[in-house]
C-alpha cells in the first residue's frame, strides 16, 4: 500500500507534529513499507482466530475502589509552564464560547 | 412544510465510585482545584492504569437494569484528541466492544408507554474542567475530574418530541439513582445529556442531518434547547437551505444554540486498543453477582409502596424519588413493626414525618436521626405516650440538640397527658372561658365540638391525648 505525502501531512497534523519536507518523503516511504508488510500478513488465513488486543497472557486486573493519597496541588502544578490560583493556566479557549 | 422530529440521546453518567476509573484519586465534587490528581490521571509518562472493579460492577448492573446484553469480552481503546482538559491527549474509552448493548427502557407519558432502545453503553474516563469566566486572556484548568469513571449511554433515534426526550432522561436518571450507580445531579455534572436532533419531511423514512447539542445542565434547558433547535432547523429547511452536521452549544442567557466547532479535519480519533490495559472479561459469575446486586426499579418500588404500606400514589412517589429516603422509610417502619405494629398502621404517620416535617427541618435529615429513633417515636405515639402535634417539636429539638428522642420527651415534659384528672381540669377551664360555645353545643350545634378539642389541645401545649380529650369533652358537654 502506497502512502502519499498528503497522508503524512494529515497524520502529522492530527498528532500535532511538525515535519520537514525531507521527513515527509522519508516517512511516506517508511510507512508505505510497513503497510506493504501488513498486506503480506493479510494473506494468512485468520478465520476463527480471536483478534489480539494484547500479547500479555492475562486479563481482569482490577483494583479495589479505595481512595489513595493524591499529589498536593503544588506537586500537581510543578511542571506546568503557567499557573494561577491553583489552576493550570492555558491560552484562552475560544471555541467554548 | 410539515416535519417530523427525530431525537437520540447520549448521556454521560458519572459512576458513584469513591476513587477514579484507573487510579486511587478521590472523586468528591467541590474539592480545591488540582488536589485530586496523581501521575496516572495527570498523564505522566511511565505510569500504569489499573481498572476500578466497582466501576465495572456498576456498568454491568446498569446494563442489566436497562435490559442490555453484556459483552463477555471487553477492551479499552484510546480516543485521541487535543484539548486542555485532557492531559494524556487521549481518553480511555471503549470503541468496538461496548460493555452493554441492545437494551431498552420504557417511558410512560399521558397514560401510554413507549419503548426507547438503548444502542450501547460503554465505560470511559472523564476529562478535567476548563474555566473561562472572568479570566482575562487565559483559561484555567482543573484536573480533579480527569479520570472519573463515566458510563456513556446512547439511545437509538427513537424519540419524536422534546417531551419524549425529557421523559426518557427522567426515567433513565431515576433508574441510575435507584441502582445506586449515579447520584443523578445535573448541576454538578454527574448526569450530562447531549441530544442529537434532526428533522425530516413528515412520513419520510430517511433520517435528516443531525445536530448535536451540548452544555445543558437541567431538564428545563434540555427541553428549551431542543425546542429552539426545531425552530432553527425548520427555518433553514423552509428557506431551501441544508442543515449542517455540527455540534452546537446551548447558551442559557441568550436562550439559543450556537456552533461550537466546525469539523474541518473530519473527526479522526485514531482509536486503538490501549496497550497499558489488559482485556476485561465479564464472566458468568460476575453477571450473576451483578444480578444479585440489582436494586428494585423505580416503578416496581412505587407500586410496592402503595400496596405494601398502604400509601397514596403521591406519597409513594415522593418517598421513592430518592432511594436513600425510601430505605430510611422502610427502616423506620421496620423498627416499629418489630414491636408488634402492623405496617399499614404506622406507615402513614412515618411517611408524613419523612415527606413533610423532616425535609422542612433539615435537608439531609437521614444523616442526623437514625431510622430506629423514628420507629421509636412512632411506637411512643401508638402507645399514647406522645401526641401527634408533639412529634414535630421533638424532631426539631432532636436535630438542634442531638439528644435522643426519649431524653427530649422526658426533659421537656412532652409526655402526653392522658391522666383524666389533669385533662378534666383543662376542660373545665376551657368551658368556663367559653360559655357561649357551651350553650351553642347544648342547643344542638354539634359543629362547635371541634372548637373545644382545639382549645383543649392548645391549652395543654399539644400534649393532651386527643382520644381521651374527645371522650372527656363529650361526657362533660352533655352533662
pLDDT digits (tens, 9 = 90+) for A1-38: 788 999 999 999 888 899 999 999 999 999 999 999 99
CA angle B154, B295, B217 (to 5 degrees): 40
Angle of helix B298-309 relative to helix B343-352, nearest 10 degrees, comes to: 120
Residue that terminates a domain, selected from B289, B319, B351: B289
CB A90 to CB B139 under 8 A? yes
DSSP chain A: -PPPHHHHHHHHHHTT----HHHHHHHHHHHHHHHHHHHHHTTS--TTPPPPS-SSS----EE-S-------HHHHHTT-SSEETTEEEEE---TT-
Judging contacts by C-beta atoms under 8 Å, the chain A residues touching residue B19 are: 65-68
Q: Going from the N-terminus, what domains does chain A have, and what CATH number goes with each?
A: 5-42 (1.10.20.60)
User: Is the same domain home to B119 and B20?
Assistant: yes
In this prediction, residue A37 carries a pLDDT of 94
Alpha-carbon torsion (B256, B212, B6, B244), positive or negative = positive
User: Is the same domain home to B472 and B365?
Assistant: no
Residue (of B405, B414, B412, B420) closest to B467 by Cα position: B420
User: Is the same domain home to B463 and B382?
Assistant: no
- Count residue pairs from A and B with Cβ separation < 8 A: 133
Residue that terminates a domain, selected from B253, B272, B289: B289
Residues B65 and B102: their CA atoms lie apart, in Å, by 12
Distance from CA of B49 to the nearest CA of A (A): 10
CB A90 to CB B55 under 8 A? no
Alpha-carbon distance values, B324 to B318, B331, B364 (Å): 12, 11, 10
Distance from CA of A20 to the nearest CA of B (A): 21
In this prediction, residue B266 carries a pLDDT of 53
CB A62 to CB B249 under 8 A? no
Q: Which residues of A touch B (CB under 8 A)?
A: 10, 13-16, 53-54, 56, 58-73, 76-77, 82, 84-93, 95-97
User: Is the same domain home to B425 and B408?
Assistant: no
Judging contacts by C-beta atoms under 8 Å, the chain B residues touching residue A86 are: 32-35, 142
User: Is the same domain home to B88 and B127?
Assistant: yes
Distance from CA of B277 to the nearest CA of A (A): 8
DSSP B363-422: TTGGGTS-HHHHHHHHHHHHHTSS-HHHHHHHHHHHHHH---HHHHHHHTT-S-B--HHH
User: Is the same domain home to B380 and B428?
Assistant: no
CB A85 to CB B33 under 8 A? yes
In a 3-state reduction of DSSP, which class is residue B478?
coil
Residue (of B431, B428, B370, B358) closest to B396 by Cα position: B358
Residues A21 and B261: their CA atoms lie apart, in Å, by 30
Helices (H), B51-148: 53-65
In this prediction, residue B223 carries a pLDDT of 94
All three cell numbers of B239, joined, read: 428557506
Any CB–CB contact under 8 A between B111 and chain A?
Answer: no
Distance from CA of A94 to the nearest CA of B (A): 9
User: Is the same domain home to B327 and B376?
Assistant: yes
Helices (H), B53-161: 53-65
Domain residue limits at B425: 420-477
In a 3-state reduction of DSSP, which class is residue B96?
coil
User: Is the same domain home to B388 and B336?
Assistant: yes
Residue that terminates a domain, selected from B260, B289, B318: B289
User: Is the same domain home to B251 and B308?
Assistant: no
Judging contacts by C-beta atoms under 8 Å, the chain B residues touching residue A65 are: 17-19, 52-55
In a 3-state reduction of DSSP, which class is residue B429?
helix
Residue in B24, B82, B268 nearest the CB of A67: B24
Using a 10 angstrom Cβ sphere, with 0-12 exposed, 13-18 middle and 19 or more buried, the burial of residue B439 is exposed
Q: Are B163 and B109 in contact (CB under 8 A)?
A: yes
Residue (of B337, B5, B8) closest to B152 by Cα position: B8
Alpha-carbon torsion (B384, B415, B391, B447), positive or negative = positive
Residue in B18, B75, B281 nearest the CB of A65: B18
Distance from CA of A85 to the nearest CA of B (A): 8
B51, closest residue in chain A (CA to CA): A62
User: Is the same domain home to B57 and B99?
Assistant: yes
Distance from CA of B141 to the nearest CA of A (A): 5
CA distance from start to end of chain B: 82
Judging contacts by C-beta atoms under 8 Å, the chain B residues touching residue A84 are: 138, 140
CA angle B80, B8, B243 (to 5 degrees): 80
B84, closest residue in chain A (CA to CA): A90
Query: Taking the mean position of all CA atoms in its chain, how far away is CA B363?
Result: 14
Residue in B53, B143, B249 nearest the CB of A63: B53
Count of domains observed in chain B: 3
Distance from CA of B12 to the nearest CA of A (A): 19
Q: Are B390 and B377 in contact (CB under 8 A)?
A: no
Residues 6+ apart with CB under 8 A from B142: A86, A87, A88, B33, B34, B128, B129, B131
Q: Are B82 and B92 in contact (CB under 8 A)?
A: no
Per the rule left: phi > 0, alpha: psi between -120 and 50, beta: everything else, B209 is beta
User: Is the same domain home to B221 and B105?
Assistant: yes
User: Is the same domain home to B104 and B176?
Assistant: yes
CB A95 to CB B260 under 8 A? yes
Torsion of CA B428, B433, B435, B441, to 10 degrees: -60
Residue in A59, A88, A92 nearest the CB of B137: A92
Residue in B18, B80, B280 nearest the CB of A59: B280
| CATH number of residue B459's parent domain | 1.10.10.410
Q: Any idea which residue has 347544648 for its cell?
A: B442
Q: Are A87 and B33 in contact (CB under 8 A)?
A: yes
In this prediction, residue A97 carries a pLDDT of 38
Interface list for B 221-250 with A (CB within 8 A) = 249
Per-residue pLDDT of chain B (479 residues; tens, 9 = 90+): 789 999 999 999 999 999 999 999 999 999 999 999 999 999 999 999 999 999 999 999 999 999 999 999 999 999 998 889 999 999 999 998 899 999 999 998 667 889 999 999 999 999 999 998 888 889 999 999 999 999 999 999 999 999 999 999 999 999 999 999 999 999 899 999 999 999 999 888 889 999 999 888 888 899 999 999 999 999 999 999 899 888 898 988 888 898 876 544 556 888 999 999 999 999 999 999 999 999 888 888 888 999 999 899 889 989 988 888 999 999 999 888 877 778 878 888 899 899 988 888 888 888 888 888 888 888 888 877 777 777 888 888 888 888 888 888 777 666 777 777 888 888 888 888 888 888 888 888 888 888 888 888 888 877 787 778 888 888 888 77
Distance from CA of A22 to the nearest CA of B (A): 24
Query: Residue A93: CA atoms inside 13 Å, Cβ hemisphere, count?
Result: 20
pTM of the model: 0.78
Tens digit of each residue's pLDDT (9 = 90 or more) over A42-78: 999 998 888 777 788 889 999 999 999 999 999 999 9
Residue in A16, A66, A73 nearest the CB of B34: A73
CB A90 to CB B138 under 8 A? yes
CB B52 to CB A93 under 8 A? no
Instruction: Please state whether beta strands B247-251 and B211-214 pair in parallel, antiparallel, or not at all (unpaired).
Output: parallel
- What are the backbone angles phi and psi of residue B101, rounded to the nearest 5°? -145, 160
CB A90 to CB B84 under 8 A? yes
Alpha-carbon distance values, A15 to A20, B128, B265, B268 (Å): 15, 21, 12, 11
Amino acid at each position: 500500500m502506497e502512502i502519499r505525502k498528503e497522508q503524512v501531512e494529515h497524520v502529522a497534523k492530527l498528532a500535532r507534529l511538525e515535519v520537514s519536507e525531507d521527513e515527509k518523503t522519508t516517512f511516506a516511504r517508511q510507512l508505505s513499507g510497513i503497510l506493504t508488510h501488513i498486506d503480506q500478513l493479510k494473506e494468512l488465513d485468520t478465520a476463527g482466530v480471536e483478534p489480539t488486543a494484547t500479547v500479555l497472557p492475562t486479563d481482569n486486573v482490577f483494583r479495589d475502589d479505595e481512595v489513595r493519597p493524591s499529589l498536593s496541588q503544588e506537586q500537581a502544578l510543578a511542571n506546568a509552564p503557567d499557573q494561577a490560583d491553583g489552576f493550570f493556566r492555558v491560552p484562552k479557549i475560544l471555541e467554548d464560547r | 412544510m410539515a416535519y417530523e422530529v427525530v431525537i437520540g440521546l447520549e448521556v454521560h453518567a458519572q459512576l458513584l465510585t469513591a476513587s477514579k476509573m484507573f487510579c486511587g484519586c478521590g472523586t468528591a465534587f467541590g474539592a480545591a482545584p488540582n488536589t485530586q490528581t496523581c501521575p496516572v490521571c495527570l498523564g505522566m509518562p511511565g505510569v500504569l492504569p489499573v481498572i476500578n472493579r466497582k466501576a465495572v460492577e456498576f456498568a454491568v448492573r446498569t446494563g442489566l437494569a436497562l435490559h442490555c446484553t453484556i459483552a463477555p469480552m471487553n477492551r479499552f481503546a484510546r480516543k485521541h484528541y487535543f484539548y486542555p482538559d485532557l492531559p494524556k491527549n487521549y481518553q480511555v474509552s471503549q470503541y468496538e466492544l461496548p460493555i452493554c448493548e441492545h437494551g431498552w427502557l420504557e417511558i410512560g407519558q399521558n397514560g401510554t408507554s413507549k419503548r426507547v432502545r438503548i444502542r450501547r453503553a460503554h465505560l470511559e474516563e472523564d476529562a478535567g474542567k476548563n474555566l473561562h469566566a472572568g479570566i482575562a486572556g487565559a483559561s484555567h484548568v482543573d484536573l480533579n475530574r480527569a479520570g472519573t469513571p463515566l458510563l456513556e449511554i446512547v439511545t437509538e433515534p427513537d424519540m419524536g418530541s422534546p417531551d419524549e426526550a425529557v421523559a426518557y432522561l427522567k426515567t433513565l436518571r431515576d433508574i441510575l439513582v435507584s441502582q445506586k450507580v449515579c447520584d443523578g445531579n445535573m448541576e454538578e455534572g454527574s448526569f450530562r445529556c447531549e441530544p442529537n436532533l434532526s428533522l425530516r419531511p413528515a412520513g419520510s423514512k430517511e433520517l435528516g442531518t443531525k445536530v448535536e447539542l451540548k452544555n445543558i445542565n437541567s431538564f428545563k434547558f434540555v427541553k428549551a434547547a431542543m425546542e429552539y433547535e426545531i425552530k432553527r432547523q425548520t427555518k433553514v429547511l423552509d428557506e431551501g437551505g441544508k442543515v449542517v452536521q455540527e455540534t452546537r452549544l446551548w447558551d442559557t442567557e441568550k436562550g439559543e444554540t450556537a456552533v461550537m466547532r466546525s469539523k474541518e479535519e473530519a473527526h479522526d480519533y485514531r482509536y486503538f486498543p490501549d496497550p497499558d490495559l489488559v482485556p476485561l472479561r465479564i464472566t458468568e459469575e460476575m453477571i450473576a453477582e451483578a444480578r444479585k446486586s440489582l436494586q428494585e426499579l423505580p416503578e416496581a418500588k412505587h407500586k410496592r409502596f402503595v400496596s405494601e404500606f398502604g400509601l397514596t400514589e403521591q406519597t409513594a412517589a415522593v418517598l421513592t424519588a430518592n432511594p436513600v429516603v425510601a430505605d430510611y422509610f422502610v427502616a423506620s417502619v421496620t423498627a416499629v413493626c418489630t414491636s408488634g405494629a402492623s405496617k399499614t398502621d404506622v406507615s402513614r404517620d412515618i411517611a408524613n414525618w419523612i415527606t413533610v416535617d423532616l425535609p422542612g427541618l433539615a435537608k439531609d435529615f437521614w444523616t442526623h436521626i437514625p431510622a430506629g429513633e423514628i420507629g421509636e417515636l412512632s411506637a411512643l405515639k401508638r402507645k399514647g405516650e406522645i401526641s401527634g402535634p408533639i412529634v414535630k417539636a421533638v424532631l426539631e429539638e432532636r436535630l438542634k440538640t442531638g439528644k435522643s428522642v426519649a431524653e427530649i420527651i422526658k426533659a421537656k415534659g412532652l409526655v402526653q397527658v392522658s391522666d383524666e384528672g389533669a385533662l378534666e381540669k383543662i376542660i373545665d377551664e376551657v368551658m368556663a372561658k367559653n360559655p357561649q360555645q357551651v350553650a351553642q353545643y347544648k342547643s344542638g350545634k354539634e359543629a362547635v365540638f371541634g372548637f373545644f378539642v382545639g382549645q383543649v389541645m392548645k391549652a395543654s401545649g399539644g400534649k393532651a391525648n386527643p382520644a381521651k380529650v374527645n371522650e372527656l369533652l363529650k361526657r362533660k358537654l352533655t352533662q
